[in-house]
Amino acid sequence: MPDTLPPTLPDYMSRAATGLAPDLAAYFLSGAGGGAAEEANGGDLARVTLRPRALRDMRGGHTRLDLLGRTLNHPVIVAPFAYQTLLTPEGEVATARGAEAQGALMVLSAQSTRAMADVRAAGATCMWFQLYWQSTLANTLALAERAANAGFSALILTVDAPVQGVRDAEIRSGFRLSQCHRAINLDGIPQPAFAPLREGESLLFDRVAHVLPDWKDIAAFCRDAPLPVILKGIMTGEDARDAVACGAAGLVVSNHGGRVLEALPSTISVLPEVVRAVDGAVPVLMDGGIRRGWDVFRALALGARAVLVGRPAACGLSVAGALGVSHVLRLLRDELESTMLLTGCRTLAEITRDRVRAPF
């Protein structure tokens, strides 16, 4: 635990970047390829400027919202991120404590290094469970049942990373995951074992592609899953419409924090296209590059119902454990409140498109 907590979120990010071992910093903080998509997320958010309204009555203002049948204190959600015991021995348990301290909804990654029951016991606001497709519908439903039995209230199925991203910095750093930090909640769910490749065969198209889902599988999963299913990693209006048609209960506009494919656009730039396509049918959330309370405001103004933060929570966890996660979330919420007050928005519903100037 540091003697003093960093005063701002950028200070948490730089303290984590310098304090972590180089290979861990590369795994947790770098982006795909040379990092352009990760940089675009933050760069494009900064291109959205605010149109403040002065002298409005701000009494009784608040940051509450309703999302999938629950009332949340504020719209900042802890994104699922993998292998948290790499950052501190308590891992996801500490993150859940920090999230609960701020009444923040947390999404637990299927690649969690702590048992889902222990994480739920540590923080009651860890209510959503994220998973990847597990080769077959039956395997994916088996994992979903585990989450439902552990008391989670919704599932996030991530569809944007069927294969790992190639991150230059991570490769250069020689990052390797050790067996001490494994995804224990997947124990007993069969993982694919691929037959050796014959001459001229492609690993991705001739092996991996055979265990990947398509929209029919997603529709079957949404129909049979024991909990509402939110699809994470939607980046176009077309996919958004397909997701709604398949029965998704919500969408997350996400490029995985720019971690999987360098040539993707920023999430804020595609958010309006997705929101238009969905036309209010289900809530649209967004993540990628949210670092300040005014970034939350920017995303909400362009149609996001709430935002998720990945690296900010990871940096809070790495610098000061549960307290760091809690402090990072508090900073974001305080900055959002002050941005609302300074722009004349009493409630989240008042953060509308006409409160910003945006090139998207």
Ligand X SMILES: CC(C)CC(=O)C(=O)O
Q: 256 an active-site residue?
A: yes
Give residue 280's region: left, alpha or beta (phi > 0; psi -120 to 50).
Answer: left
Tell me whether residue 181 is annotated as binding.
Answer: no
Mark the segment that binds ligand FMN (CB under 6 A) among 173-181, 213-221, 269-277, 306-314. Answer: 306-314
Give residue 288's region: left, alpha or beta (phi > 0; psi -120 to 50).
Answer: left
Hey, which residues does 76 pair with through a beta bridge?
Answer: 307
3-state helix, strand, coil in the chain (%, to 5): 45, 15, 40
Among 45, 82, 155, 218, binds ligand FMN (CB under 6 A): 82
Among 13, 75, 81, 230, binds ligand FMN (CB under 6 A): 81
Which of ligand X, ligand FMN, none is residue 79 near (CB under 5 to 8 Å by kind)? ligand FMN
CB count within 10 Å of CB 215 equals 13
**Is residue 348 part of the contact set for ligand FMN (CB under 6 A)?**
no
Give residues in contact with ligand X (CB under 6 A). Answer: 82, 111, 161, 164, 256, 259
CA distance 284 to 274: 8
Tell me whether residue 151 is annotated as binding.
Answer: no
Q: Out of 74, 210, 256, 327, which one is annotated catalytic?
A: 256
Tell me whether residue 83 is annotated as binding.
Answer: no
Nearest to 340 by CA among 10, 56, 101, 12: 56
CA distance 49 to 357: 5
Is the alpha carbon torsion for 206, 211, 214, 217 positive or negative?
positive
CA distance 91 to 30: 20
Residue 81 Cβ vs ligand FMN, minimum distance, rounded to whole Å: 4
Tell me whether residue 74 is annotated as binding.
Answer: no
Shorter beta-carbon distance to ligand FMN: residue 82 or 244 = 82
Among 140, 158, 269, 343, binds ligand FMN (CB under 6 A): 158
The residue number with the shortest CB distance to ligand X is 82
Q: Which residues bind ligand FMN (CB under 6 A)?
A: 27-28, 41, 79-82, 109, 111, 130, 158, 232, 254, 256-257, 259, 287-290, 308-311, 314
Residues labelled as active-site residues: 256
